[in-house]
Amino acid sequence: MLINSRRDFLKSALLTAGGLSSTGTIPNLFGNSSNGNPRRFIFLHRGNGLFPSVMPPPSLGEQDKAREQKKEPFEVSLDQHDLPDWMEPLQGHKDNLTILQGLSGKMCTTGHHSWCSSLGVFKANERPSSIKWATVDFELAKLFPSPMEHIELACFPTGGGNARGSLDGIAMGFSARGPQQPNYAFGSPKGAMEELFKSVSDNKDDQVRYQLERKVLAFAAENQARQSQGLSGVEKRKITNYSESIEAIRKRNAKVDAMGDVLRKHVPKLEEKYLAEELTTLDRQRAHTEVLLSALISGLTNVAAFTVDELGHRYTGLPGLEREKINMHDVGHNKSIGGVEPHEIRKRARQHHMTLVDTLVSRLKMVPEGNGTMFDNTMIFYFPDGGETHHSHGWEYPFVILSGRNCKLDIAGRYIRLPYHNQEGHKTLGNFYTTLLNAYGNPVEHYGAHDLSLKIDQSGAIKDFLI
């Protein structure tokens, strides 16, 4: 790749290395929590809405069904109830499961595409200039630093949305490192594996390229230092920022290099079908899940975002519709495909997503850590990026949450419906993310923008969720 400017170099370097939290800075690597183990957070979000009506346990009593119908607050223990049939893959994890209803996000961009909105709690569009601050996943990554800080994977749209026309590239993702700093996501599981684990690749060409990149970084760092001599003011600061960013990447690369023995043990062993040029959506999602697990278990990252689908993504490989290339926009407009009703298509996609969550939880439960397992220190969130429907308005953002025993929120094992929009005690995405950040060490008073249509106090954490 020909690099024509400092900006081109930094962009390519950030893509290769995984991105920084902010220009010229990098947190202390390998930060640990108070129990000696890092905490981990996985955000899986999907397009085309998530209907609140598919979330309640079907075995609710008549009184709770009436409350649910009226969207009145209540909660029940899941060990006393059946899960919705599409959540069946999570049956073995009910003690760790939370089904959370009632959070609103009207301060976000809704409708067809939300971009960074649902993770950042602000209005956003496809322009980096619309990004107001770091998304919540990056804020959590700062609390539990790692060599790569944050990894993002995506099933990119090809018919609208963030990235157009490429399923397999590295493109602007759905998270943000900071103001006007979009993150970049891997569209190809094979490409993600090669980039993240290239330092221990057995391929000679990969090793040559890896060493060349290191030399380019060293040269660029020295060159920036020379250029800063004799400058002052804004220009000097600009050059200094470039130089510090490059040096930060070099230091992080050194940390990754030092992990060689560990990385070799955890390089994803993808089946041949996952390495093929053509992947079904379901296989792409499964392969991304394997890469994500390897990155977490090896210690490359403690925080990951995974866009399991987006409205502009054409679905392939759904059970019973394997030969179809499903336009989820059509499904959102209640069109049947291949003789299958839209609500059933949605259900099959959701159920497959739950198999991915089950894979994450089950595998992390198998990895020893401290006095327990890696999952003990992990939280997984599955939610819609735009809200409650295809043409969403942000009235509700349903969540499926899996949390380990060391989770700092008191929510596991329950179906929780919070008060509806503008009812006393109503909570927003901002309140929920503030709760997460406060619980894990960020004392922010309130994360995210406010909903100007709310006539009630909407600042701060959800105190009932805090331990």
Q: Which tens digit of pLDDT belongs to each residue from 88-120? A: 999 999 999 999 999 999 999 998 888 899 999
Report whether pLDDT(288) > 50. Answer: yes
In what helix (H) or strand (E) does residue 399 lie, and over which residues does it extend?
strand 399-403
Report whether pLDDT(211) > 60. Answer: no
Report whether pLDDT(14) > 60. Answer: no
Name 120's Cβ contacts closer than 8 Å, sequence gap at least 6: 108, 131, 132, 133, 134, 135, 136, 176, 448
Q: How confident is the model at residue 185 (pLDDT cuts 50, 70, 90)?
A: very high
The residue ranking higher by pLDDT, 465 or 212, is 465
Token duo for residue 362: 């089950």
Query: Count of CB atoms within 10 A of residue 272's CB?
Result: 6
CA dist., res. 462 & res. 77, Å (int): 19
Q: How confident is the model at residue 380 (pLDDT cuts 50, 70, 90)?
A: very high
The residue ranking higher by pLDDT, 23 or 342, is 342
Domain layout of the chain by residue ranges: 1-24+198-260, 31-191+267-465
CA distances from 434 to 54, 93, 103, 418, 449 (A): 26, 26, 13, 16, 11
Q: In the predicted model, what is the mean pLDDT of residues 275-288?
A: 92
Give residue 5's pLDDT: 43
Please state which of the ranges 269-273, 277-281, 310-314 shows the lowest mean pLDDT: 269-273
Give residue 345's pLDDT: 96
What is the topology classification, in CATH, of domain 31-191+267-465?
Alkaline Phosphatase, subunit A (3.40.720)
Give residue 21's pLDDT: 34
Q: In the predicted model, what is the mean pLDDT of residues 307-320?
A: 92
In the chain, % of residues over pLDDT 70: 77
CA dist., res. 253 & res. 255, Å (int): 5
Token look-up 């390229």 returns 209
CA dist., res. 326 & res. 323, Å (int): 9
The residue ranking higher by pLDDT, 30 or 295, is 295
CA dist., res. 333 & res. 390, Å (int): 8
Tell me the CA end-to-end span of the chain in Å, nearest whole number: 51
Please state which of the ranges 57-71, 110-124, 158-172, 334-348 shows the lowest mean pLDDT: 158-172
Q: How confident is the model at residue 25 (pLDDT cuts 50, 70, 90)?
A: very low
In the chain, % of residues over pLDDT 90: 61
227-263 pLDDT, tens per residue?
Answer: 656 656 656 555 555 555 555 655 656 666 666 676 6
Report whether pLDDT(130) > 60. Answer: yes
Give residue 405's pLDDT: 97
> Alpha helices, DSSP H only, in 26-116?
62-70
Q: In the predicted model, what is the mean pLDDT of residues 438-449?
A: 98
Where is mean pLDDT largest: 166-170, 193-197, 309-313, 332-336?
A: 332-336
Query: Count of CB atoms within 10 A of residue 254's CB?
Result: 12
The residue ranking higher by pLDDT, 317 or 219, is 317
Give residue 18's pLDDT: 39
CA dist., res. 116 & res. 46, Å (int): 13
139-149 pLDDT, tens per residue?
Answer: 999 999 998 88
